[in-house]
Amino acid sequence: MPHGTEARCGRAKLLALLLTAGSSALAVADDGIALTEDDFFTPFPEVLTATRLVQRLSDAPVAMTVIDREMIDASSAVHVVDLLRLVPGFQVARKEGIDTIGTYQGFADDFPRNMQVLIDGRSVYDPGLNGTVWSSIPLTLNQIERLEVVRGSNAAAYGSNAVMGTINIITRAAEVSDSLGVRAMGGTGGVAEGEFSHAAVHGAAAYRIDASRARDGGLVDKFDTSKSTIVNLQGSYRPTLDDELTVRLGGRQTDFDSESFRYPRKRVFKSDYQQFNWRRMLDSEEDIQLQLYRNNFRSPDVANIGVGIVDYSLQSERLDVELQHRWKPAEDWRMSWGAGTRRDTVSGGIFDTTDDMRRDQVRAFSNLEWRATDDLLINGGLMAEHYNDVGDYFSPRLAANWQFDPHQTIRASVARAYRVATFVERRGDVRVQTPFGNIPVVFGDSRLEAVQVDSVELAYLRELPVWDGTLDVRLFHIEHDPVIDDVDDENNTPANDDVRRFIEAGEFDVNGVEIQLRLRPRQGSLVHLAYAYADAGGGRLETINWVDPADGIPHPNDDKVPNHTLTVMAAQSLGNGWTLSGTYSYVSAMTWMGEGEAVKRLSRLDAKLAKRVRSANGDWRFSLNAQNLFDDAHYEFEPADPTIPLPGNRAERRVMFQVEYFLR
């Protein structure tokens, strides 16, 4: 074993020993409350995201990970996307100081397009940039109550873009928020953050206000410093015992230096949203919900690349309306069904027209749960979507959950899903504007329509009362056919040999196993393990001759997905308000697409020491957080390339100290 590997293993073992040793000093809970054995056991939690029905996780038709507030506080995450490291099969890579990428089962570029991301039910998938732009989302960790992450096709519930899963971020309600919160953080790497929150309840009304300001010095040797401002407002009103109205609105502006597309320049992201929800409870088993929202994103971006100008500017707007009904039509049946409509409007310098482009979608969905016997549960779902430009798509799912023992369940499911081609894939047209004419760089293809994704999974779930824990083991097979990707077009003039085109580039499949384990081996402790093994197959074109596309040679996909992804997090209460936690992450070698390159295996160890001081009216919280504790050098997305006069995104150790005060 190489000396560096031995050292990293020794460090991980040392941290585990520290956590275990600290637990021996703990005899009672911080509050001094005597608990019974039943109080220690936490069964599978209830979830909503898989079927839009409230279900025990063991009844859901697909694998899920729940990241609750306890896990968020124990983690060393600073940004929301960092939490995805705790999910089996997820890879998180920091591209630039402000720009972090999160993808599931690899096969991704700068903008992964196969995951639907929701915040309180509102999709934040940007139709213009072809994915979720985490650095434009108006959200901080302190505003989050929990995350529900669906690991597997969820298009039956949330449609296109949920072909590989759904991330549902649920924020804290105003009614249960602290009346005042103040947070300040500073650390190495030019990191500084300040946040303020205020919440109040007045009779049947409640509100919450959040505002934050952050600065980040970026990665080592890169031109990627950033400053961002976030403001959010949430208000709720209950005119009757059965009705609830909620309004959410907010925005974010991020000014940052960037080397994206390898051209250093200053950029800005501006985003805002408005959301309205109405819910009426008809009885304990039935409700109606209406949701309306608007997302708006702007990114003016003109790059001077020496030989000319490239206009990367983009504007996008999404308008969405949806009505949902949940009810119990019979004793052993439950159902969620509804319909919605959406309009996406996109414009900018990266398209083949200067006019606004619009995509209208109409959808209807239904998810049905049938308790066939006391130990057998059947879940069926279907999403029907119509798009004005690419046609009709139907995404079904069928699952059976057999609870053959009070604490053990086996699940089998099959699903088909579709991801419709994006505006860039269909209408992209990026050119370098020179005094002598325009030089093409990227072309879309209006004939592209959708990617079909078929998946099969078999899972075993077990509650572990003795350890107050849960175990989730999942076997899966996923097929993407075709794969839509941008490839090099070799049929170019000598003056322009770097044109890329979006085409149906091949097919992609992956087989694998995921293991998720959560334990509380002793009082005040928490252990979370997330592991995934994946084996990718299929092939895709990387170069073509546009005159004769069949001239291209497929390349295997085996390097586009890491074979191994592992995260282990452990936390231990040390008594008297002290908590020590650590997180070890490992990702084997993989090749990123787009601007990314092949990266070697990476591992890092994070550690966090926190102190909570309680008073009659509020709490002080102090924490010291070290990411990449032993400063293990690695590249997460793009290694250094001697042929390019720009450094890679080398990770470094970061140490941050945070102070928080919450007034109840």
Q: 647-656 pLDDT, tens per residue?
A: 777 888 999 9
Q: 629-649 pLDDT, tens per residue?
A: 998 888 888 776 666 666 777
Cβ pair 97, 637 in contact under 8 A: no
> Is the per-residue pLDDT at 622 higher than 80?
yes
Taking the CA of residue 611 as centre, how many other CA atoms within 13 Å lie in the half-sphere pointing to its CB? 7
| Rg, Å, the chain Cα set | 25
Scanning 212-305, the segments in alpha helix (DSSP H) are: none
Cα(368)–Cα(103) distance, rounded to whole angstroms? 29
Cα(574)–Cα(522) distance, rounded to whole angstroms? 12
Global model pTM greater than 0.85 = yes
Q: 429-448 pLDDT, tens per residue?
A: 999 988 888 888 899 999 99
Q: In the prediction, which pLDDT does 113 show?
A: 84
> Is the per-residue pLDDT at 73 higher than 90?
yes
CA triple 62-66-67, angle to 5 deg: 150
Indicate the helix (H) or strand (E) that contains 418.
strand 408-420
> Is the per-residue pLDDT at 21 higher than 60?
no
Q: 530-581 pLDDT, tens per residue?
A: 999 999 999 888 888 766 655 567 888 889 999 999 999 999 999 999 999 9
Strand duo 598-599 + 654-663: pairing: unpaired
Sequence-ordered list of residues with C-beta below 8 angstroms from that of 32, at least 6 positions apart, any chain: none
Q: 384-411 pLDDT, tens per residue?
A: 999 999 999 999 999 999 999 999 999 9
> Is the per-residue pLDDT at 42 higher than 70?
no
**How far is CA 177 from its chain centroid?**
24
Phi, psi for 57 (deg, rounded to 5): -55, -35
Read off the pLDDT of each residue in 458-464 and give the average, rounded to a whole number.
97
Q: Cβ–Cβ contacts within 10 Å for residue 493, how many?
A: 8
Sequence-ordered list of residues with C-beta below 8 angstroms from that of 13, at least 6 positions apart, any chain: none
Q: 472-484 pLDDT, tens per residue?
A: 999 999 999 998 9
Which amino acid appears at position 170 of this protein?
I
Q: CA torsion, points 201, 118, 347, 360, in degrees to nearest 10?
A: -100
- Of 105-114, 309-318, 530-539, 571-580, the one with minimum mean pLDDT is 105-114
Q: In the prediction, which pLDDT does 332 show?
A: 96
Read off the pLDDT of each residue in 78-94 and give the average, rounded to a whole number.
93
Mapping DSSP to helix (H, G, I), strand (E, B) and coil, where does residue 539 land?
strand
Sequence-ordered list of residues with C-beta below 8 angstroms from that of 24, at least 6 positions apart, any chain: none
Q: What residue has token string 């057999």?
A: 402
Give the DSSP letter string of 184-203. EEEETTTEEEEEEEEEEEET
Cα(639)–Cα(369) distance, rounded to whole angstroms? 48
> Is the per-residue pLDDT at 22 higher than 70?
no
Q: 165-191 pLDDT, tens per residue?
A: 999 999 999 999 999 999 999 999 999
Residue 601: closest CA among 636, 571, 629? 636
Q: Tell me which of 16 and 44 has the higher pLDDT.
A: 44
Strand duo 116-119 + 165-171: pairing: parallel
**How far is CA 206 from its chain centroid?**
29
Q: In the prediction, which pLDDT does 549 show?
A: 56
Which amino acid appears at position 143 of this protein?
Q
Q: List strand residue ranges (DSSP E) for 349-390, in order.
A: 357-373, 376-387
Mapping DSSP to helix (H, G, I), strand (E, B) and coil, where does residue 432 land?
strand
Strand duo 205-216 + 408-420: pairing: unpaired
Cα(525)–Cα(530) distance, rounded to whole angstroms? 17
Cα(328)–Cα(285) distance, rounded to whole angstroms? 6
Q: What's the pLDDT band for 496 if we cut at 50, 70, 90?
A: low
Cα(364)–Cα(348) distance, rounded to whole angstroms? 31
Q: What's the pLDDT band for 142 if we cut at 50, 70, 90?
A: very high
Strand duo 654-663 + 180-187: pairing: antiparallel
Q: In the prediction, which pLDDT does 544 show?
A: 80
